[in-house]
Structure 1
Amino acid sequence: MSDRGMLIEFGGLPGTGKSTLARLLAHDTKAVWLRIDEIEGAMRRNGLTPEQTGIAAYSVAHDVATNHLQRGLMVIADAVNPVVEARDGWRHLAADVDADHVVVETVCPDSTEHRRRVETRAGDIPGWTYPSWDQVHELMTEYQPRTGNHLVLDTTRPVDDTYQELTTHLARRTT
């Protein structure tokens, strides 16, 4: 890998496996893992309302990512990124600091499995409440389709298989 930083942008609806894959990748690569849910959770624990945290959490993540990318590190951005503006923010950030940028979208096309994941997921962020299935279903109507070059990972497959596809894709990008 070069001395350039690498931004790996994970996006996808809640419950599609973004954080599962990002956690594995961060562990294996010792990358900086910026999870928007964690940032929003900290903001809420410190008195901000959900209406105040969304855009602000992305802004905080961008500022933290900038520093690490400028030092040539790998940064994993783990966020729903439901709209073009959120995605453009990551793209512009990578360009501004001359970092490589890899976009990964997780999908769970089996709606029964997706719902099961959403309804049974264990909380791992203090004070954070994950969205309900109804809220995820509403977000589906607002989620803008991705365009451009990106890796789409169908997470209905076993995690090990999906993770292998991810790491193979990244290895091709860094050689």
Structure 2
Amino acid sequence: MLIVIGGLPGTGKTTLARLAAARIGAVHLRIDTIEQAIVRSGLAQHPVGPTGYVIGYALAEEHLRQGLTVIAESVNPMAVTRDSWQSAGTRAAVPVVEVEVICSDPAEHRQRVTTRSIDIPDLPLPDWQQVLNRDYEPWNREHLVIDTAGQDPQQSLALLLHHLDRSGGMPTEATEA
């Protein structure tokens, strides 16, 4: 299965994706990691544009065809990126679950953005104003929304796993945990 996790910077996407990947034995495919590798190669500078996403779609499809569950995590700000993840899942003949991670408390969200640390060397992190000004199209189809405001990461993980289990999309590794 392909689990697509999107949302603005600082909402908790990476934390949720890492926890879920560890719990269900999935591949965590992070677009920030791909984009920073492209920049380190000298082939591009930030912002990289669609290149990181295009590589991500190809890697996701490759892993899915090998029978692996993939958690693709990125801001995923536009309908075209969401459609492309859907297409990768369709081409690999696997179910796709879309998850939007939000932080509905602006003060908490701002604190997260302004106090988080860099976990990918030299990755430029947006400041609060850049997060507020970011182009982010509304989701135009049914998807799971996980609001991380006021809860710890394990609570967000429990919501995601509950949804996957309820929808019948839970990979077998997760039911054993």
Do these two structures clear the TM 0.5 threshold for a shared fold by scoring above it?
Answer: yes
Structure 1 unmatched runs, 5+: 1-5
For residues 76 and 169 of structure 2, what CA distance do their matches in structure 1 show?
24
Cα distance in structure 1, aligned partners of 2:55 and 2:154: 31
Alpha-carbon shift at residue 147 of structure 1 (Å): 2.2
The gaps in structure 2 that reach 5 residues or longer are 171-177
Is 1:144 matched with 2:137?
yes
Q: Map 1:28-67 to 2 at 5 A.
A: 28-47=23-42, 48-51=44-47, 53-67=48-62
CA contact (8 A) 2:21 2:27 kept: yes
Residue 169 of structure 1 aligns with which residue?
163
Shift of 1:29: 1.7
Return the TM-score normalized by structure 1. 0.91
Counterpart code for 2:35: E
TM-score, length basis structure 2:
0.90
What letter is aligned with 1:114? Answer: H
For 1:1-175, list aligned pairs within 5 A.
Answer: 6-47=1-42, 48-51=44-47, 53-139=48-134, 142-156=135-149, 157-172=151-166, 173-174=168-169
1:11 is matched by which residue type in structure 2? G
Partners of 2:138 and 2:156 lie apart in 1 by 21
Percent same amino acid among aligned pairs? 44
Whole-Å separation in 2 of the counterparts to 1:131 and 1:27: 27
Separation (CA, whole Å) in 2 of partners of 1:126 and 1:108: 25
Q: Is the 8 A contact 2:36 2:123 kept in 1?
A: yes
